[in-house]
Structure 1
Amino acid sequence: MFHYRRLSRGEVERFETPYNENLLEVHLTDWPVDGSDDDDSKWLPSHCVMPSRYCQFAERIRNLTVYEDDVWIVTFPKAGTTWTQEMVWLIDRDLDYETAATVNLQQRSKFLEMFTFVSKMNLPDSIALVEEMPRPRHIKSHLPVALLPQQLWSVKPKIVYVARNPKDVTTSYMHHYKHIHGFEGAQQDFLDGILQDKIIWCPQVKHAADFWHMAKNRKHILFLHFEDMKRNLMGVLAKVCTFMGKSYSTEQLERLAEHLSFENMKNNKTANNQILVTQAAEAMGRSSDQFKFMRKGEIGAYRSELPVDFSMKMDELIREQLSGSDFKYRE
C-alpha cells in the first residue's frame, strides 16, 4: 500500500512543468514483501516524487503480473537507459540487427509508467501495453524499488540496473526536463529541485542506493555503472552476456560495441529516442530540431555546465544519503 504526502505549492511550484503537475511524495507502507530477505526487514526503501496523476495507477503497477522470462531495465532518468535497452535487447535476441533496424526501441522495450506521469497529452495506457506484450517482454522503468511491481522480488525475472554519477545525470536531466517535460524555469530552479529531491523520480541518490541494497544478494539483478560502459564496453558486454546466459565470439561483440558507440546510437533512428523529442515538441508547439535526446554521453560533462557551488552541495548530499551504505558512484 502507498501513503501520499502532497507537497505544498511553496515547496514545488518552481519545479513543476505543464505536463507534471501537483507533485507529491509516494511512500510505500508494506515492506518487506514476498521474496525479501532478512536484510530487507531492517530498512524501508525510499519514497519517490511523482505528479498527483500517478496516484491513479500506483496500485496497478504494484500488482502488475511479472513473468520469469521478463527482462527489466531500471534506471534513474538519464543514467544510460536507452543505451542499456538497446544493448540488452540485442544480446537477449541473438544479435537480431535486422529487427533492431526496423522496429523502434520504444516498441521492443516498453516504458511501463510512461502515461502515468504526463498530463495534457493523449498517450496510450502504457501499463496495458506492457501487459499485452508478447513474451518474453523487455520492460523499461525509472521507478525506484518502492514503486516497482512487488512480484519482481518473488518471481525473479532478469533485472539490469544502471547507475551514473549524479552530477552528470543532473546535467543531462536538466536539458531533458526542459525539452521533453516542458520545464520553463531557470537553471537554478532545477538545480535547487535536485538538491531538495523535489524533481520527479527523486531522490536520485537513494534510487541507486536502494537498488544496490536489493542487488547484493540477488542473482537475478545485474548492477552496472554508466562509467564502466563508457570506459570498458567490451568488458560490460561480456558481463551482460554471462548474466543473460548468452555466448558470442569476440568478433560478434566487437560489432555490437561498434553498433552501441555513442555516434552510432545518436544517429540510429530506431534507437535514439528522437521520436520522444518530436512528440513532446509537437505537444508544446516547438521545433524538434532544438534538442537531441542523446546529447553528449560523456563522463564529467557537468564540469562545463554546472556551477561549482552546486557540485559541492551535491557531493555533500551524496555523502549524507549514502551514509551507512557501501554503495559508491563511479567518478
Structure 2
Amino acid sequence: MSGALLDSSFCLRVRPGECLTSQLFLLSVPGMAKCFPIKFFPVEGDEGEQLRRQFVGYPDGFVRGDPGGLLMTVGYLNIKDELFNMELRPDDVWVITFPKSGTTWTQEIMWLILNKIDTEAAGKIPVILKSLFLEYSGLVPKADFTLCQAANEEVSILEIYEDLPRDKPRILKSHLPFSVLPPNILNTNKVVYVARNPKDVIVSYFHHHKLIKIQEFNGTFAEFVDYFIQDQVLYAPYWSHLHDAWSKRNQPNVCFIFFEEMKKDLFLSVRKIAMFLGKDMSDKEVNKIVEFVKFENSKDRWLGFEKDLKEKGLFKEAGSFLRRGEVGDHKNYFDEELERKVDDWIQENLKGHDLKFPQY
C-alpha cells in the first residue's frame, strides 16, 4: 500500500512506524499495528513550572494524556507505542497497581507460586528482577537504566522481556492503567490487580518520592496531598486507574484484591492468588509462602539490595523502600484539615460507584 488512507474502521500499518486510526480490527489481524488511544501534551505554563520546581527528580517535566488526563514523564513517549503493541505470550501473568498499593509484596507472592515455592532462590534474586518493571526505561535517565540489568543503554525493556526463558511464565509489572496497556491483555493473560486505600497510598507515595532521587520531591506532605488529589503526580488520576480495574473485576482473567485484605488474612490471599494462577496448593505450601513474604522478613531481605542502591546514589540514605507496610498509617500524618479535604475528595469520587474499601 502506498500513501495514507484514513478509514475509521481500520488500523493499518502503511509505512514503517506509521499506522492509521482503528477500532474494528485491532485484535483480529496478526501483525497489525495498534494505534495508541490517547495523545499526550506537555504540561506547560505555571503548572509545568511549579511541577518541575517541586518534583526535581523529573527535570524534563511531565506530559498529560487526552482523553483521561494520565500524567507521565516525557521519556514515556519514547516507549508508549512499543509497550502498547508488545507481543504477549499466552502464559504471561501481570501484577498491575497504582504505585504504592502492594506491588512488591504481590509480585514476590506470584513469583513463589510460579516457581515451586523455591525460597532459596527467591532469597538470592532481587525482587525487581523477578518481575521486571514494564515502563521503567521511560521513567528514568539512561544513566540509571542499569537497574533493569541492561548490558547496553540502547536495549529496550521489551528486548529484555523477549530474552526471558520460555519454559516458565513471565511476571510483568506495571503501574500503567489498562487504557494504555496492550488491548488484548485480558483476552490473553491473567492479571492480578491490587488496590489500596488512597490515604495510605498518598503517605507511601510521598515517602517514595523523598527516598528515590530520580523521582525526588522537595515539598511538604501537605503540598504532596494537594498534588495527589489534583491529579498532578505520576500515573494520576488515581480514581480512573482504580475504577477501570474495578469494572473489570469479574472478568475471568482478573484477580482484584485489596491490600487491606492481604494484611488481614495473608493465608487466604495467597491461596486466592494461587488458585487464580491455576496452582492448587496444600496448607503447608501456602504457609511456607506466607512466612517468606511477611513484611519483617521481606524488609530484611530488601535491605541488602537497598544498601547497594544507596551506595550508587540512586536512593537517599534516610528512609527505606519497604517502609512500614501498614494499614492506617495515614493517621500518623493527616491533621484534621487534611483528613477532611481527602475525605471529601474520596466521597466525591465514589459517588455512583459500588467500590468500597475494606475497613480494618
Task: Provide closer, same or farther for how the CA distance between residues 95 and 109 of structure 1 changes in structure 2, counting only shifts above 3 A.
Answer: same
**Following TM superposition, by how much is the alpha carbon of 1:290 offset from its aligned partner in structure 2, in angstroms?**
1.2
CA contact (8 A) 2:126 2:305 kept: no
Higher RCO by CA contacts (8 Å cutoff, separation 6 or greater) = 1
* Equivalent pairs, count: 307
- Higher mean alpha-carbon deviation, 301-310 vs 86-95, is at 301-310
**Following TM superposition, by how much is the alpha carbon of 1:214 offset from its aligned partner in structure 2, in angstroms?**
2.0
Quote the Cα distance in structure 1 between the aligned partners of 2:202 and 2:235: 12
Quote the Cα distance in structure 1 between the aligned partners of 2:202 and 2:127: 24
Residue type at the aligned position of 1:25: R
2:224 matches 1:196 = no
% identity of equivalent residues: 33
Q: Which of 293, 299, 312 is matched with 1:282 structurally?
A: 312
Match for residue 25 of structure 1? 64
* Secondary structure of 1:67's aligned partner: coil
* Secondary structure of 1:292's aligned partner: coil
* Secondary structure of 1:154's aligned partner: helix
Match for residue 164 of structure 2? 133
Quote the Cα distance in structure 2 between the aligned partners of 1:276 and 1:119: 19
CA contact (8 A) 2:132 2:171 kept: yes
Match for residue 328 of structure 1? 356
Q: Which of 44, 56, 66 is matched with 1:8 structurally?
A: 44
CA contact (8 A) 1:49 1:203 kept: yes
Residue type at the aligned position of 1:324: G
Residue type at the aligned position of 1:182: E
2:220 matches 1:220 = no
Task: Provide closer, same or farther for how the CA distance between residues 280 and 306 of structure 1 changes in structure 2, counting only shifts above 3 A.
Answer: farther
Task: Provide closer, same or farther for how the CA distance between residues 73 and 4 of structure 1 changes in structure 2, counting only shifts above 3 A.
Answer: same
Match for residue 129 of structure 2? 107
* Secondary structure of 2:51's aligned partner: coil
Task: Provide closer, same or farther for how the CA distance between residues 15 and 71 of structure 1 changes in structure 2, counting only shifts above 3 A.
Answer: same
Superposition TM-score, scaled by structure 1 size: 0.86
Structure 2: unaligned runs, 5 residues or longer: 1-35, 151-155
Task: Provide closer, same or farther for how the CA distance between residues 101 and 12 of structure 1 changes in structure 2, counting only shifts above 3 A.
Answer: same
CA contact (8 A) 2:295 2:325 kept: yes
Match for residue 33 of structure 1? none
Quote the Cα distance in structure 1 between the aligned partners of 2:107 and 2:124: 16
CA contact (8 A) 1:15 1:190 kept: no
Q: Which of 87, 109, 122 is matched with 1:87 structurally?
A: 109
Residue type at the aligned position of 2:114: D
Query: Which has more radius of gyration?
Result: 2
Q: Which of 264, 274, 279 is matched with 1:246 structurally?
A: 279
Q: Which of 76, 84, 92 is matched with 1:62 structurally?
A: 84
Aligned positions of 1:290-309 closer than 5 A: 290-309=318-337
Superposition TM-score, scaled by structure 2 size: 0.79
**Following TM superposition, by how much is the alpha carbon of 1:6 offset from its aligned partner in structure 2, in angstroms?**
2.5
Structure 1: unaligned runs, 5 residues or longer: 29-45
Residue type at the aligned position of 2:62: L
**Following TM superposition, by how much is the alpha carbon of 1:265 offset from its aligned partner in structure 2, in angstroms?**
0.8
- Higher mean alpha-carbon deviation, 48-57 vs 78-87, is at 48-57
